[in-house]
Chain A
Amino acid sequence: MTFDSEYFNIGYLDSLSYKDTFVHRLDPRVKLLVSFVFILFVVSFPKYDISGLIPFFIYPVFLLTAGDIPLRVIAKKVLVVSPFALFIGIFNPLFDTNVLLTLYGISITGGWISFMSIMVKFTLTVSTALLLIAATSFLGLCEALERLKLPKVFVIQLLFLYRYLFVLLEETFRMLRARDARSFGKKGRDIKTFIRLISVLLVRTVERAERIYQAMLSRGFRGEIKVLRRHSLRFQDFLFALFSVSIFYIFRHYNIVNILGETLGRTLR
């Protein structure tokens, strides 16, 4: 059942985000922006480029190791996730059959190269997004969004969503267990049962919202919610941002792989 795995995945990523490492301590704004810039750099490579992308693996590897995050979790998710990129990318070899390169008699078409490039980009961007959340508490990210001037309604909405995600997942889990206990085999999964189940869940959710609203009013709520600020920019934040972006810039401008390869080739010859 996907339910368990997804559910525990959120919980697991959430639990990782409370660690106390150099990466976890960085200001969430800085981590968010640097990761975003990283992704921009990565997707800016033209479609036939693979070698230029390879040095960029250093950033996710840094987050992974400095943030003390198990490789297994991230690797598993990257492998499982997003059939869409694969689905669209796999057409490239079919449509782009220009031979770009012949290696010992094997011709490699542009389509295969651009497909490979898509998959490398995919691995880089997806692992970075996952590592970002594993190395930053969700609250920290919301604080960052608020301080980056995203509308407060949106940020507060995210906080509420996250808070009740766990509660509702548990409730859903209980309902599903009850359904599976009462239905034999596949019978409980038809659309009619589904609609009834989800409608009941929806009604309960609305009732919960009403109770929460009463609880808020009981404690003097008048439409204002404060988003607490617990981070401030420190020297290492600037250092991290400057250092990372400079490295991305260098990797983007100088093809390290080719330079290294050529030097190596020359010395070998």
Chain B
Amino acid sequence: MHMADALLSPAVGGTFWAGSIGAIAYASRKLRENLDDRLIPLMGVLGAFIFAGQMINFTIPGTGSSGHIGGGMLLAVLLGPYAAFIVIASVLTIQALFFADGGLLALGANIWNMGIYPAFIAYPLIYKAIVKKNASNKVITIASVLSVVIGLQLGALSVVLETKLSGITELPFGTFLLLMQPIHLAIGLIEGFVTAGIVIYVRSLRPDIVDDLEGVKALSTGGSLKKVIIVLGILAVLTGGVFSWFASTYPDGLEWSIEKIYGKSGVPERQNPISGTLTEIQKKIALLPDYSLPATGKEEEKPSWPAVDTITSLSGILGGIMVLVVVVIFGIGMRVLRKKMRKT
């Protein structure tokens, strides 16, 4: 469920970038405060392991199609929340660069969706709350499945919200949810059982890998669950705030789909203070003119092309072809230039 650049607006992409960078900084500080040196190579090598592991496919029972592991919760179980989050973030970074999974702008959202929820919500609040020392296999299985499913549900919900807030898709909110959540329930169940299977099997081979690292984890958790919950609360409020801000300023956001559903037209013009100030700033900088907030956004729905009459749109197509031709000529010219330069 990698989010893609093309589905994001700059504001939503930027917001989640900021959030993810903040979380990386926070997790790094927590790690540095009492880092067990052993973790430095372990984290890196486990990141590479997730990568390699994702290339092994297995047959999903009853379907015949094949799947692979995500690994977020497995990392959390092995490394604790902070180190796991950093590892997930770096795996996603490499995927964004080498596989073009998502893209650079969407990386922030992807780190948020696939890192924050498993590492900082599902692991501490669900897995850790259920699994105590020397837990039975059954308990581990229940905890894994529950925490993976919830982590993935939150992630999928997040994808839906980000896409809707960006206003690129026409999918109604409800339909979108119905598309995403059940699929991720199924994925979550499989991933949960696989994660449990691995934890249990590894524990039978080398119990210390699962249990011994508890020592490291206890350190890196930096104390009580209370703190984590407070941080999460702040995050929730922040996300909620950002979310409602978008919802209230963005015609294409959630309300747009609500409008559509209830058939209400023309929500009265609002001029909330934040968007007012932002509009001012926007006007001053005016880097991205068409990307506008509602106050100036009257024209937003008016496309620059195709315009209404056929003449202009024809000229649009003509112009488009010309520009493409210029780009191709430029490319060929560059290649020729390179060859010449190499010869001399």
Contacts and interface: CB of A to CB of B under 8 A. Distances in A.
Interface of A: 2-3, 6-7, 9-10, 13, 21, 35-36, 39-52, 54-55, 57-58, 61-62, 64-66, 68, 77-78, 81-82, 84-85, 88-89, 91-92, 94-96, 100-103, 108, 111, 113-114, 118-119, 121-122, 125-126, 128-130, 132-133, 138, 141, 150-154, 156-165, 167-169, 171-172, 176, 186, 189-203, 205-206, 208-210, 212-213, 216, 221-223, 225, 249, 252-253, 255-262, 264-265
Given A151-B24, A154-B28, A265-B311, A194 B58 contact: yes
B31 A49 contact: no
Contacts of B290: 44-46, 49, 52, 252
Residue of A13, A44, A133 contacting most chain B CB atoms (<10 Å): A44
B194 A194 contact: yes
Residue of A10, A94, A103, A202 contacting most chain B CB atoms (<10 Å): A202
Nearest to B286: A253
A187 to B, nearest CB: 9
Interface string B295-339: 000001101111010111111111110111001101100110010
B202 A161 contact: no
A157 B42 contact: no
A193 B197 CA distance: 11
B310 A43 contact: no
Contact of B45 (A50, A89, A160): A160
12 contacts: A46-B304, A88-B7, A94-B170, A118-B168, A133-B97, A156-B40, A161-B47, A189-B58, A190-B61, A201-B52, A203-B209, A213-B40
Contact of B55 (A3, A43, A51, A203): A3
B281 interface: no
Given A158-B90, A209-B45, A55 B323 contact: yes
A139 B263 CA distance: 54
A77 B194 CA distance: 30
A264 B319 contact: yes
Task: State the majority secondary structure of interface residues on A.
Answer: helix
Contact of A95 (B21, B61, B171): B171
Given A160-B44, A165-B48, A205-B45, A129 B103 contact: yes
A74 B201 CA distance: 40
Nearest to B12: A43
Contacts, number: 386
Residue of B5, B45, B197, B331 contacting most chain A CB atoms (<10 Å): B45
B268 interface: no
B160 to A, nearest CB: 10
Given A165-B51, A264-B322, A265-B315, A213 B94 contact: no
A163 B44 contact: yes
B99 A203 contact: no
A138 B318 CA distance: 41
B245 interface: no
B136 interface: no
B163 interface: yes
B3 interface: yes
A195 B319 contact: no
Contacts of B10: 40, 43-44
A68 to B, nearest CB: 6
Contact of A213 (B42, B318, B330, B335): B42
Contacts of A121: 5-6
Contacts of B193: 191
B32 A153 contact: yes
A58 B289 contact: no
Contacts of A259: 319
B4 A122 contact: yes
Given A46-B290, A162-B94, A125 B41 contact: no
B51 A2 contact: no
A5 to B, nearest CB: 10
A259 B48 CA distance: 50
Interface string B18-57: 0001001100110110010110111111111101110111
B331 A262 contact: no
A176 B328 CA distance: 43
Contacts of B61: 190-191
B287 A249 contact: yes
B141 interface: no
B319 to A, nearest CB: 3
Contact of A125 (B105, B167, B252): B105
B242 interface: no
Given A101-B306, A192-B197, A205-B46, 8 more contacts: A125-B105, A129-B104, A171-B52, A172-B55, A223-B35, A258-B316, A258-B319, A259-B319
Contact of B8 (A43, A186, A199): A43
A262 B305 contact: no
A92 B5 contact: no
